[in-house]
Structure 1
């Protein structure tokens, strides 16, 4: 007695087992997180050091270099890139995927602190921050007012709004963008200073000496303590105006006499606009472990409460919500899930022709999909786009085993046996093939579960969810389905009705197949030759098919990065981003747009174009990208590039193609090679836009000091440096308190007084004798063109070529072209590397090829163990190249590309197509053993008998993925790619398998005793 007999003879037991599977799974659903992707930790640790007024060369040599040398030995680092610009050193340490960021952050912080003493004493302390996930915030909220200034809005947000948002569960940071905090601005007047005999150095000294934060301590008596507060600092604009700078011959020179004092902004080098109007943004960034959907939901609940505390003139508006794409994608997948279920039910009915027969496989769908949720919860998985996609594919898989069971039992009933006897006999016959198919399909995903890198991190949950659902369906097919067959199925006595019509058509098809198979088996060499051609063609099809990391998705958002000439300031930039606004506003698909001027540097801007919902527009973001780029190319004053954000959670920023040249040579030599590479890339026709981050167009005023003459005049280099820094750098001298918060005090010349080198001639330096000496007496000026930023990659001088591919080209094609051209151009000592998404693509490379090969080996070994033979698994495996060839054909003609979704589809095909071979070979072996048939007769009969379940399971799977192929809206591209591979591969592969497997069986299999 086989174990299946127990469940047929004890129907209550079979029912209870299934109910328990369903109930435990149902309870687990409500405990599963809902998110876009499985948890993936991409962390960047940034070390930002400012030294206002310092040149890029000084920043690189004295700040960037010692810090990055120190931190480079920290564990878990993938790569380091740095930029040194005027007054700013920025080092980005990119950690390896899923490396413990807390450990790395502590290690990096310790190494930065170890070299703090080596940095210039006037440089500000390095600020170390950690960013995990996308550089784009999950939610942006705009604040604008016709009555309030930027600093006033910023101050209100910092005092009222930011603390409330940062207290929301799951929020890592609520960053204020676009506005600047208040600062006490001391606008120096060089003419008044010269007339009154005051130097910039003396102004700075007066500020430091007379606005001093003191900690006076306490008075302690025998029984009492009295705290002391000494008013040694300044608190108001008037107090700063009245500050005595100097006393000359009994006359007090006050700050208002030599400068204009105002409560202004800490910086005037950035601004934000939303739909053309100025405002201030708050960007909400969730903590890495939090669910962004939950975080954004919680923030949205807090926003109405915050609005009550805002003045009437301040308008609050949600600008961008990244979770709209996530929610839309998940809703579309759920819709696809329902559509696939309906299609599979219809397909089963059309093949079986009886509602009684259909009801049995249908039951396995909810039992398997709900039941697998308990395993997902136990493994710590979530409901995300990939696990939902696994469930869509599982619909066609989980009915397979039940279909095979029902078809086999129904066959025995039609032969005249009672339903109970048919169930007992049919379940015994089919138990081993069902177990074999279940184990095989589960085993095919084991290699994915062992994969590393981004693909492994993303698709581990997909693979194990799909495998677990198949295992659950196998359990249901061997416990509940035979019992239901014994109770529900009956022998149809009459020759009328839809079921009989279906049986008649299948009998006709079966006879035609038997005749065709008999003919094919007479021409075995032709079949072998055909199979060999298919096998070889798979290799060439794979080489010739376009490749990329992931298909392009319409995320409802496009980013625009604009750069003005390196001499341009934010006012120049605002003029041209206004033109970008005008271009974007003419598109009907636009919902809103914004600009962040002064993003990263004063001559760069980041703009965002937010589209209407997917159902409210006809053109996709990908179609509009090229059209908008042509419009942006017409703006003469800036270079603007439009691109989509990464389609996978890589944590990368910037354009899709980022190709790095690095060398030990100087930047001018590197620049010449990069210019040649850019020229070739532009001529190739592969890219919409091409640019690099290295150019010699930033004007730099070099002040040459005649040190001998300065010494003769009694002037020190320190006095010169201090005076220039006070007037020009914009560095703060100290802090002052206003309403319980600290703000910077910044002395500086107004823009009008530092617009050209001649203005510096009004500067006076006090010599050792106490006399004022004009700066022009001992300096000369020379203007040169230098890079605005000195960049390094892995501690080598570097230049990065950034590009956006043409819509018809893939990033892999672009990167391969750049690699080939760089090899021709690079001299000795220069090499190339990759950054951003391009680096992820190169690292992932053909990792799935190895996984594919591993999956084949695992399947072969599993089958060998089950069949106790190495020949039979080899026969079954001949079906694999048939399916892979069928899948690669539509990819090769441009219907899709080879990417991580199609590669996962190819691996899935291995398990799907081998099920057909298992059904035929296992039954043929049984016929040889029981009925003493010869090899050829056995395989012909086995193929004929198993034709119906093979076609049924194929049709259920192929038609079940049709909703994936015709999908539209959010996340449609990924669903389409995996759907087209499975549909084409399984359809073509099944047609070939029906003839190739029987032929190979007659050639390779041994006679079974």
Structure 2
């Protein structure tokens, strides 16, 4: 945990440095860079206040939220700064530019902030353990974005009015950057004018990309969470049922000898801890070892590779079975196996038959390894049946027989005594040497009530040696047997569960009840919950945008960016060989807000230009061209802010990387495609729409008596 926290701190520092470099490269001035840069400490410190009030702690997930927030909190300040700076370059005074520029962009800033918050908040209400883990993550991000928008609309305009000067010329890097963007805007304008002449092509491209995203989603492997190298693994040793402590200790020492050969300076193992018997209520035939690995930089093998390699050597230990288990993802309970299938039925005889059939079928599956169950009939038992007729003839009562067996083979409290004010039990039991084997029953006698003589107990009982389970378990109040299995290399959890369900349908009768436990259960529950959360976030964002734009068409045009971003994210996951898991799904939910921001900037400004009397197509092209620079800047900041998560190494990197992949690839591809798709679809569908400001001006005209019968929407020329 400490190493993982340290890696996140490093990612936080690198993200901040990268974001500042990106801002400087885009603006070309150190003084101007300070304006959006000051938003970062103000927003982060304000976020700490919210975290303290909510009782949150500094942990891996809250720090992960702050890493992503670094790239987000500067976005609003960049948009406001760019708009003010553009007006100053057009000849306005800095004070007037700060006032009018922030007012002009204020609606877009508020809209994007509400969109982001409406995406982050549903993360806090995901069901199951994922909710407990990501509640603080969502609230932390939402608080940071809220404070950043407040700072962008208040502190940033003030700083612009004081620090920016009218008529100052760009020099050095600033001049080259400005020249590059003028060249880029010119060529982008020409390309966009061609695109909006055939808007149906853009619509077809969106449909095609959506279908492609669905294809990738179906092909990518699915799992609950990626396997983290946590720098440790567990070894469980199980000797045959009924084994003595001495025999278990002997097998454990052989296991320790194997580990000792890999322990020391320059070797992958750092040290190990042995517990005999194992943890909890483990019996004497079990032992557990905790193996701590060397630092991540000092070894080449991961924890899973080491556990697999050493596990092959454990198979050579005679008279015992040893399994190496890596820690489960996100602290899930269980013995380390991701597959836990629970069979429920009316009685254990029936369950045992179903277990045997399923075990044979699962062992034949190439996707699974180490198939086992928790119902093991290996514990030696003796069934003692009393010949009642013979006992009655000889005058021996059943209570005498039972009491004798209880005393000699077990123990019995016969009285108590008091010593110095404390009461102690007096326990009567036989010597260990007198109950070592079934033959020792021949040395036990009971007294006859008829003759007063001792009768050999062996004359009254029949002994049957048998094997049975060490414990009987229930699941959901039903008798149950849990089957466990590990995954073969390269097999995802989702694929294995799907195959097992098919095998269960073919193998078990309809009366058999199958359930899932452990990581399998979390995967199924969290997967459905996260997809529902994604849909809920999408609906909330649509309603928020519809309320702000007073239109259903504008939000639809804006949300077209979501499938574009998801396509980019899935392409990234496929390229990196990653999977669909909790972290990548969380990143996909975040993409709803991150991708919609760019669409809001274009659509909102196009509405403003139309209200000013600009022709429809000209307004669309001009809005997209003017917003080109802030869109590229904010997207670059978000991308480079998440880049340390994508490229990070060390403890916990496996969990941080999926979010980094989704954000970096999703935002990058979405930003590029949004610049063409959103204007084209706006031309195709939004001609009859108007802005909220249009309704305000119409009301003012009606009140002044100059508006006449104003229409609800303006008639704009093509």
8 Å CA contact 1:546, 1:892 repeated in 2: no
Aligned to 1:564: 239
Structure with the bigger percentage of strand:
1
Aligned to 2:483: 801
Cα–Cα, structure 1 residues 652 and 788, in superposed 2: closer, same or farther, change >3 Å?
A: closer
Aligned to 1:539: 214
Once the 2 structures are TM-superposed, how far is the Cα of residue 483 of structure 1 from its aligned partner?
A: 0.8
Q: 1:980 aligns with which of 654, 657, 661?
A: 661
Alignment root-mean-square deviation, CA: 2.2
8 Å CA contact 1:734, 1:744 repeated in 2: yes
Once the 2 structures are TM-superposed, how far is the Cα of residue 945 of structure 1 from its aligned partner?
A: 1.0
Distance in 2 of aligned mates of 1:434 and 1:727: 83
8 Å CA contact 2:557, 2:678 repeated in 1: yes
Aligned to 1:817: 499
Once the 2 structures are TM-superposed, how far is the Cα of residue 694 of structure 1 from its aligned partner?
A: 1.7
Aligned to 1:598: 277
8 Å CA contact 1:626, 1:807 repeated in 2: no
In structure 2, stretches of 5+ residues that fail to align are 691-713
Q: 2:527 aligns with which of 832, 836, 845?
A: 845
Cα–Cα, structure 1 residues 642 and 739, in superposed 2: closer, same or farther, change >3 Å?
A: farther
* 1:233-283 per-position Cα deviation (integer Å, ceiling 9, x unaligned): xxxxxxxxxxxxxxxxxxxxxxxxxxxxxxxxxxxxxxxxxxxxxxxxxxx
* 1:26-47 per-position Cα deviation (integer Å, ceiling 9, x unaligned): xxxxxxxxxxxxxxxxxxxxxx
* 1:817-866 per-position Cα deviation (integer Å, ceiling 9, x unaligned): 22221121112421111223333333323111111111111111111111
8 Å CA contact 1:551, 1:899 repeated in 2: yes
Once the 2 structures are TM-superposed, how far is the Cα of residue 595 of structure 1 from its aligned partner?
A: 2.6
Q: How does 1:471-486 map to 2 (within 5 A)?
A: 471-486=146-161
Cα–Cα, structure 1 residues 357 and 552, in superposed 2: closer, same or farther, change >3 Å?
A: same
Once the 2 structures are TM-superposed, how far is the Cα of residue 596 of structure 1 from its aligned partner?
A: 2.4
Cα–Cα, structure 1 residues 745 and 553, in superposed 2: closer, same or farther, change >3 Å?
A: farther
TM-score calculated relative to the size of structure 1: 0.65
Aligned to 1:58: none
Cα–Cα, structure 1 residues 753 and 475, in superposed 2: closer, same or farther, change >3 Å?
A: same
Aligned to 1:633: 315
Aligned to 2:201: 526
Aligned to 2:353: 672
Distance in 1 of aligned mates of 2:423 and 2:586: 55
Q: How does 1:112-151 map to 2 (within 5 A)?
A: none
* Secondary structure in structure 2 of the residue aligned to 1:554: coil
In structure 1, stretches of 5+ residues that fail to align are 1-324
* 1:538-562 per-position Cα deviation (integer Å, ceiling 9, x unaligned): 3333233222222222222212222
Aligned to 1:855: 537
Q: How does 1:708-857 map to 2 (within 5 A)?
A: 708-730=389-411, 746-768=427-449, 769-857=451-539
Aligned to 1:884: 566
8 Å CA contact 2:326, 2:336 repeated in 1: no
* 1:603-624 per-position Cα deviation (integer Å, ceiling 9, x unaligned): 2222211223334433321332
Aligned to 2:24: 349
User: Does 2:597 correspond to 1:915?
Assistant: yes
Q: 1:370 aligns with which of 14, 24, 45?
A: 45
Q: How does 1:124-203 map to 2 (within 5 A)?
A: none
Cα–Cα, structure 1 residues 433 and 625, in superposed 2: closer, same or farther, change >3 Å?
A: same
* 1:929-983 per-position Cα deviation (integer Å, ceiling 9, x unaligned): 11x2233221111111111111111111111111111222222222112111111
User: Does 2:256 correspond to 1:575?
Assistant: no
User: Does 2:685 correspond to 1:1004?
Assistant: yes
Cα–Cα, structure 1 residues 392 and 761, in superposed 2: closer, same or farther, change >3 Å?
A: same
8 Å CA contact 1:348, 1:952 repeated in 2: yes
**Which one is further off, 426-435 or 734-743?**
734-743
Cα–Cα, structure 1 residues 611 and 710, in superposed 2: closer, same or farther, change >3 Å?
A: same
User: Does 2:235 correspond to 1:552?
Assistant: no
Once the 2 structures are TM-superposed, how far is the Cα of residue 598 of structure 1 from its aligned partner?
A: 3.0
Distance in 1 of aligned mates of 2:524 and 2:499: 14
Once the 2 structures are TM-superposed, how far is the Cα of residue 505 of structure 1 from its aligned partner?
A: 1.2
* Secondary structure in structure 2 of the residue aligned to 1:684: coil
Once the 2 structures are TM-superposed, how far is the Cα of residue 493 of structure 1 from its aligned partner?
A: 4.7
Once the 2 structures are TM-superposed, how far is the Cα of residue 631 of structure 1 from its aligned partner?
A: 2.1
Distance in 2 of aligned mates of 1:746 and 1:491: 98
Distance in 2 of aligned mates of 1:558 and 1:743: 43
**Which one is further off, 956-965 or 777-786?**
777-786
Cα–Cα, structure 1 residues 907 and 572, in superposed 2: closer, same or farther, change >3 Å?
A: same
Cα–Cα, structure 1 residues 742 and 938, in superposed 2: closer, same or farther, change >3 Å?
A: farther
* Secondary structure in structure 1 of the residue aligned to 2:610: helix
Q: How many residues align?
A: 682
Distance in 2 of aligned mates of 1:761 and 1:977: 68
TM-score calculated relative to the size of structure 2: 0.90
* Secondary structure in structure 2 of the residue aligned to 1:642: strand
User: Does 2:127 correspond to 1:452?
Assistant: yes
Distance in 1 of aligned mates of 2:416 and 2:234: 37
Cα–Cα, structure 1 residues 742 and 462, in superposed 2: closer, same or farther, change >3 Å?
A: farther
* 1:472-514 per-position Cα deviation (integer Å, ceiling 9, x unaligned): 0000001010111111123575564110011111112222222
Q: 2:556 aligns with which of 870, 874, 877?
A: 874
Cα–Cα, structure 1 residues 469 and 837, in superposed 2: closer, same or farther, change >3 Å?
A: same
* 1:326-347 per-position Cα deviation (integer Å, ceiling 9, x unaligned): x222222222111111111011
* Secondary structure in structure 2 of the residue aligned to 1:789: coil
Q: 1:337 aligns with which of 12, 20, 43?
A: 12
Once the 2 structures are TM-superposed, how far is the Cα of residue 814 of structure 1 from its aligned partner?
A: 2.5
Distance in 1 of aligned mates of 2:164 and 2:300: 49
Cα–Cα, structure 1 residues 492 and 634, in superposed 2: closer, same or farther, change >3 Å?
A: farther
Distance in 1 of aligned mates of 2:194 and 2:259: 65
8 Å CA contact 2:94, 2:161 repeated in 1: yes
8 Å CA contact 1:340, 1:395 repeated in 2: yes
* 1:885-931 per-position Cα deviation (integer Å, ceiling 9, x unaligned): 1111233456322222211111111101100001101111111111x
* Secondary structure in structure 2 of the residue aligned to 1:897: coil
Q: How does 1:407-486 map to 2 (within 5 A)?
A: 407-486=82-161
Once the 2 structures are TM-superposed, how far is the Cα of residue 456 of structure 1 from its aligned partner?
A: 2.3
8 Å CA contact 1:654, 1:836 repeated in 2: no
Distance in 2 of aligned mates of 1:738 and 1:510: 96
Aligned to 1:693: 374
8 Å CA contact 2:527, 2:582 repeated in 1: no
Structure with the bigger percentage of helix:
2
Distance in 2 of aligned mates of 1:399 and 1:441: 14
Distance in 1 of aligned mates of 2:382 and 2:227: 45
